[in-house]
Amino acid sequence: QSEIPGSPIFVMKMASHARHLEVQLLADQHGDAIALSGRDCSVQRRHQKIIEEGPAVAARPEVFKKMEQAAVSLAKTVGYANAGTVEYLFLEETEEFAFLELNPRLQVEHPVTENILQLNLPACQLMVAMGIPLHRIGDIRKMYGRHPRGRDTIDYAFAERVSYPHHCIAVRVTAENPEAGFQPT
């Protein structure tokens, strides 16, 4: 709950039955930001994500929508412009979530989002870096049922997205040496 002044010891509430959920973001230099999709990266070993699943199904859709809205709000508040990932600790029993961090880059698990939405996230990131507004990026336009080469703006707060029936699970293969205390090889 709070740090003990002058001490490296602090007290925290135990988070049992917690999940590590993420929201993939894309934000442009013109003030627009959108949540693309979510991932569940709860299976980890030695601080490395071993299994990434998307979309995240641990949280009810209404709760995950709030996570997405919080991620978009964060991006807009700080003037973020890039692809990025907002990570949350999600408590299953209470359906509460807490901000962990914003990773200002594509993460190794970004292909999960690409497979769900059928888009090229590095290409979208490059277009954002070139100053192209989100509403002019073909893959983003298709997510909102628009012609990929159209020029009309999109009000992301109210626009309906196309439903994507895809699901993706990515698994990382790791190697450890049992004779060296299971250190990575």
Catalytic machinery residues: 105
Torsion of CA 182, 91, 85, 144, to 10 degrees: 130
Helix axes 110-117, 121-129, angle to 10 degrees: 100
Q: What tokens were used for 95? A: 């359906």
Question: Residue 25: enclosing H or E segment and its boundaries?
Answer: strand 18-27
φ, ψ at 18 (rounded to 5°): -100, 155
- Cβ–Cβ < 8 Å for 174, 45: yes
Burial status of residue 39 (CB atoms within 10 A of its CB: 0-12, 13-18, 19 or more): buried
d(CA 55, CA 22): 10
Q: What tokens were used for 183? A: 């250190």
Residue with tokens 């769900």: 116
Question: Residue 61: enclosing H or E segment and its boundaries?
Answer: helix 61-78
